[in-house]
Structure 1
Amino acid sequence: MMSEDGAAFGLTVAYLRGALDVGVIDVAAVIQWADTTLATLQHPPYALIELALMTRSSREEVMWQLLQVAAPAMAEDEMLPYVLSVAHSRLLGDPAFGRRLAEGIYRLWTRSGYDLPGTLQACGYFDDAYSLADSGVHGHAEVIDRELFEFTQHFAGLDWQTLKAP
């Protein structure tokens, strides 16, 4: 793999890992990317071939294999605003997606040691808010859906594909 391919792969891997981790995309979307990319490369890396064959693998296995393709060019918290932009678009058409998104960003928030920068700090709120609403202790799921939509709206319009590889 040429170094410029590696840099471009690094950005793509950072996005795919983040989006897969928080549930914005699924394993099938990653496999489709691998298949499409394989068709464009004369000498594809073996790790990409392996990734293309992982249709029955878990999210965690695919995330690990993405690391074999290339090192992420950005940290999770740096890519998260771009992932949340895509999540916002998805919430427009599927408000029920909010619960899955809340679980995913909560996982990332806990892995960060409960410390994401700036506006991303709110990632820890939504999963707990849904749990409280579901148990009848506090709030309503429809309100949390709206709050999550408004939170992701801050990131609307960001496009990871416009980023330059380091």
Structure 2
Amino acid sequence: MLTIDLPDQAAWFREALRFGLVSVREVTDWAAELVGGSISPNDSLLELSFMSRAHPLDLVSILAGLSRDVAPFDVLPEILGVAHERVRADPAYGRHLSHALYHLYSQSDRTVPAELEDMIGFEDAYGLADCKSHGTVAEVQRDLEAFTGTFTARVGSRFKPPGR
């Protein structure tokens, strides 16, 4: 595993959990691994390591505290690269991803880095395709797959979690 500082690792897991790319168990296993390798573990990591039955948003909150200085857009390109394979394998995941992207866009006061500007249209595109106003779900899926595919080279650039 590539060793990166705790805030970067926590930010990766924070966003991967929000985007449905890792499970609560994977986050708690990661925290337990770090706790086990530390003489004086961080209290938040210790808490995370015991939260295997918690709601994902409870973990996101703790991870946010650990990664306060790492903005979601700092890790999003890598998250999208990881999401690419999931979008290809599971068309239903595309809707979840588009919703999560729009939610992040809304939380960011509707400002995103230029390389991520295309992320804002997928939620609306699915809605329009569903009511047969514009395009098809298959077209939206294809566009989302192409968008996430542009980030596959970024996977592992900041943090490579176990098993990825």
Normalising to structure 2: TM-score of the pair? 0.85
Question: How many Å apart are 1:121 and its aligned residue?
Answer: 1.3
Q: What's the counterpart of residue 113 of structure 1?
A: 109
Describe the superposition over 1:85-127 as per-residue Cα deviations: whole angstroms up to 9, x where unpaired.
1111222332321111111111111111111111311111111
> What is the deviation of 1:67?
3.3
Partner of 2:139: 143
Distance in structure 2 (CA, Å) of the matches to 1:71 and 1:142: 36
Instruction: Return the alpha-carbon distance in structure 2 between the equivalents of residues 14 and 38 of structure 1.
Output: 17
Q: 1:102 aligns with which of 98, 101, 109?
A: 98
Distance 1:133 1:24, change over 3 A: same
Among 47, 50, 59, the alignment partner of 2:44 is: 47
| Alpha-carbon contact 1:15-1:160 (below 8 Å) kept | no
Which of 12, 19, 35 is the aligned partner of 2:9?
12
- Name which of structure 1's ranges 142-151 and 132-141 shifts more when overlaid on structure 2: 132-141
Moved over 6 A (4+): none
| Ranges in structure 1 where 5+ consecutive residues have no aligned partner | none
Q: Do 1:32 and 1:52's aligned partners in 2 also have CA atoms closer than 8 Å?
A: yes
Please state how far the C-alpha of 1:73 moved relative to its aligned partner.
Answer: 4.6
CA RMSD, aligned part only?
2.0
Q: SS of the residue aligned with 1:113? A: coil
1:1-166 map, 5 Å: 8-68=5-65, 70-162=66-158
Deviations 1:35-57 (A, max 9, x none): 22222223222211111122222
Give the residue type in structure 2 aligned to 1:142. A
CA deviation after TM superposition for structure 1 residue 136, in Å? 2.4
The share of aligned pairs that are identical, in percent, is 31
Report the residue type matching 1:157 in the other structure: A
Unaligned runs of 5+ residues in structure 2 are: 160-164
**Deviation, structure 1 residue 14:** 1.3
Number of residue pairs the alignment of both structures matches: 157
Offset, 1:72: 4.1
TM-score by length of 1: 0.84
Structure 1 counterpart of 2:117, one-letter code? Q
Could you list the per-position Cα deviations for residues 112-165 of structure 1 after superposition, in whole angstroms to 9, with x for gaps in the alignment? Answer: 1111111311111111111221222222111111100000111112134546xx
SS in 2 for 1:18: helix
